Chains A and B, each alone.
Chain A
Amino acid sequence: MSHTATHEAHSGGGTKEIIKVTIILSVLTIVELILGFWMMGITEPGFRLAIKGTIVILMMAKAFYIVAYFMHLKHEVKNLIMTICVPLFLFVWFITAFLYDGNSFKTLRNRYDKHFKEQSTIKVPAKAEGHSEKKSAE
């Protein structure tokens, strides 16, 4: 349990690496924000979807840098990396199935629930004061 052994096992890139990763994270965040601002002016659904997709990819990149460098996972033994990363693939089916069924539920309700369909076509006047009052009555 000597200290030097501990240190050697975890030797990463040191302070230089930390600075590098900080800069990368900041840049990625700024790009995300720029995309966010840009998206405000765009109404075309397909284009918006493409920007949202890009933001999600950037998000994954940020997550990678935090886990790999800040949490030091990249400098651990390969098997440890595997035991942590492999179970995360469960999220693929977790997300796919949930969102797919959520979307299907919307279609179902729009087809059979007249009230639900109607609600989503009525515009709320002005700042939706009445709406909030109705809710607060709860």
Chain B
Amino acid sequence: MSNEAVLHDNHSHEHAHHDTFITKYVFSQDHKMIAKQFLITGMIWAVLGGFMSVLFRLQLGYPDSSFPWMEDLLGKWAKGGHITPEAYYALVTTHGTVLVFFVLTAGLSGTFANFLIPLQIGARDMASPFMNMLSYWFFFAASIIMMSSFFVQTGPFSGGWTAYPPLSALGDASPGSKSGMDLWIISMALFVVSSLLGGLNYIATILNMRTKGMSMTRLPLTIWALFFTAVLGVLSFPVLLSGFILLIFDRNFGTSFYLSDIFVNGVGALPNEGGSAILFQHLFWFLGHPEVYIILLPAMGMVSEILSVNSRKPIFGYMAMIGSLFAIAILAFLVWAHHMFVTGLNPFLGSVFVLLTLLIAVPSAIKVFNWLTTLWRGNIRFTPGMLFAIGFVSLFISGGLTGIWLGNSALDIHLHDTYFVVAHFHIVMGVASMFGMFAGIYHWFPKMYGKYLNNTLGYIHFWVTIAGAYMIFWPMHYEGLAGMPRRYYDFSIWESFKQFQDLNRFISVVSIMVFAVQLLFLFNFFYSIFKGRKVTTLNPWKSNTLEWTTPINPGHGNWVGEIPEVYRWPYDYGKDGVDFTPQTTPVGEEESQH
């Protein structure tokens, strides 16, 4: 039972000999190739999702202008170069779904869990490479089905990414509620299967397949973060699946789990009675809140690692970092109803959720202060990856602080469903995790492809993105405080919101600029894969972790010969005057204890 590593050893060598194009690039069971597949699929989705936001930002910024090219592109969805309200809602919904699930869940933890777990814990591959491959292909199928919902007659689902009934339960509720929603549910169900297969694999790999000497307290923080991410996914996605199964029955088999008495003008009373729409929201947010941390934790882990490597200092408070990750993971399951303060939730229950929600500030603050103290007096190298990591900390602080506002049920009555919420979650969850993802890509690109990304383009990418992110979302706080509701198609018909017309236009212009800079990053990415500067040393960042002990372009099986043994934690930077001491260096006799 203890010989898994040996078994895999044989297994992987066997494979290395007869790789065809199909087994190497398409149905690959190599975790590194699967990671790249996740990354590139995620990038395609990110571009599509970002482009959708440009389209609806144009509507919000220029409600009176018309864009003839839009009609060429979208056809009947943009008659006269003017996006229709139905298309607007479909775009908002798909933008949310795609970015939350496909980019920041599958694209982020799919990429980095697959890539980093075996490399950093010292394993030849995942526990089950086959399941790992299935995980990607389920995600791929989910992607195709989600994509196909753009091409059905009535368009994609348009009731918001949260899919609340009755918009999602009654086929006639909105144009996308029939076939658009069918495809949406099927796609999401496949996505749940994909994340379950992936998550089980990550957990089993981290627990069972660590190399000799790699005890749990010698794991890099990336691995700890990915571990808790996988646990969150495995325990919370099934609840969403149950919620969806009940929803499917409501849609197709005449049940009323989520539907109470509904009277439709011109149709009369629907036969449904006795259900509760709040139940769906409970089930959805029981996943939905852990989902926020599924998105955020991998970014936190990677940022911890990158900050430490590039400050040439040990991470401050390693155990506290693990403890706070654990606390966040637990609390993630206990606070879901803070999304539902104004639904008719019991106010007393709401106050308990306020308390639990505000508790999250404690582990979050521990993490922030540990990052800052890691930077403190460090010998900082401002690589693009490091800049994105610092940017993550900045965004996490500014977005996290508004979370304390929104966590109060009394304040939330005013702020709920306004642009304040949009600003909050885009900064803390969307852009911050994006920054974690960028940091990870810049940092591990040399390991992925054996090339460097272009630094100048990286700096331009960083500065425009962080300035743009703040310019887009900072003003939204003021709009939200003034009561401007989210998800509205056109604000120009209200006297009270007319004052924000210029501001909205400004936000739209900046968002187009930020989108353009992401295309620059894409260019950098694909150009560097083929034409980038070659990596010539094994350990370009002078890092301690195990992935840099593999060859520059590791094959399937990662290490040639024995897997190295580990003797120390991964954060011995600047110890006893030595710049860095890799994990594989045995502890010397003279060495001081830390």
Contacts and interface: CB of A to CB of B under 8 A. Distances in A.
A40 interface: no
A104 B276 CA distance: 12
A5 B276 contact: no
Given A104-B346, A116-B260, 15 more contacts: A1-B1, A5-B1, A94-B333, A97-B282, A97-B349, A98-B282, A100-B349, A101-B349, A102-B276, A104-B349, A105-B276, A108-B344, A115-B261, A119-B273, A134-B271
B282 A101 contact: yes
A90 interface: yes
Chain A CB within 10 Å, residue with most, of B1, B345, B346, B349: B346
Interface string B369-406: 00000000000000000000000000000000000000
A138 B271 contact: yes
Interface in B307-344: 333-334, 337, 344
Interface in B271-314: 271, 273, 276, 278-279, 282, 286
Nearest to B353: A97
A14 B164 CA distance: 52
Contact of A90 (B235, B279, B349): B235
- Across the A-B interface, give the 3 residue pairs with the lowest CB-CB distance, nearest first: A104-B346, A138-B271, A138-B254
A121 interface: no
Given A102-B276, A105-B276, A87 B235 contact: yes
A101 B286 CA distance: 14
Contacts of A105: 276, 278, 344
Interface residues of A, number: 23
Contacts of A97: 282, 337, 349, 352-353
Interface in A108-133: 108, 115-116, 119
21 contacts: A1-B1, A1-B2, A5-B1, A6-B1, A9-B1, A87-B231, A90-B235, A93-B334, A94-B333, A97-B352, A100-B346, A100-B349, A101-B278, A101-B282, A101-B345, A101-B349, A102-B279, A104-B345, A116-B260, A137-B271, A138-B271
Contacts of B334: 90, 93
Contacts of A138: 254, 271
Interface in A3-54: 5-6, 9
Contacts of A101: 278, 282, 337, 345-346, 349
Nearest to A115: B261
A78 interface: no
Nearest to A105: B276
A94 B286 contact: yes
B164 to A, nearest CB: 16
A37 to B, nearest CB: 29
Contacts of B279: 102
- Secondary structure class of chain B's binding surface, majority of residues: loop
A108 B282 CA distance: 17
B333 A90 contact: yes
A72 B442 CA distance: 47
B593 interface: no
B592 interface: no
Nearest to B270: A138
Interface string B1-38: 11100000000000000000000000000000000000
A138 B252 CA distance: 12
A109 to B, nearest CB: 8
B7 to A, nearest CB: 8
Contacts of A90: 235, 333-334
B3 A1 contact: yes
Contacts of B254: 138
Contacts of A108: 344
Contacts of A134: 271
Nearest to A92: B334
Interface in B232-268: 235, 254, 260-261
B385 to A, nearest CB: 33
A1 to B, nearest CB: 5
A90 B279 CA distance: 18
Contacts of B260: 116
A38 B352 CA distance: 39
B541 to A, nearest CB: 34
Interface in B344-359: 344-346, 349, 352-353
Contacts of B1: 1, 5-6, 9
B28 to A, nearest CB: 27
Contacts of A9: 1
A135 B344 contact: no
Contacts of A6: 1
A117 to B, nearest CB: 12
Interface in A50-98: 87, 90, 93-94, 97-98
Nearest to A2: B1
Given A1-B1, A93-B334, A135 B346 contact: no
Contacts of B352: 97
A9 B279 CA distance: 45
Contacts of A93: 333-334
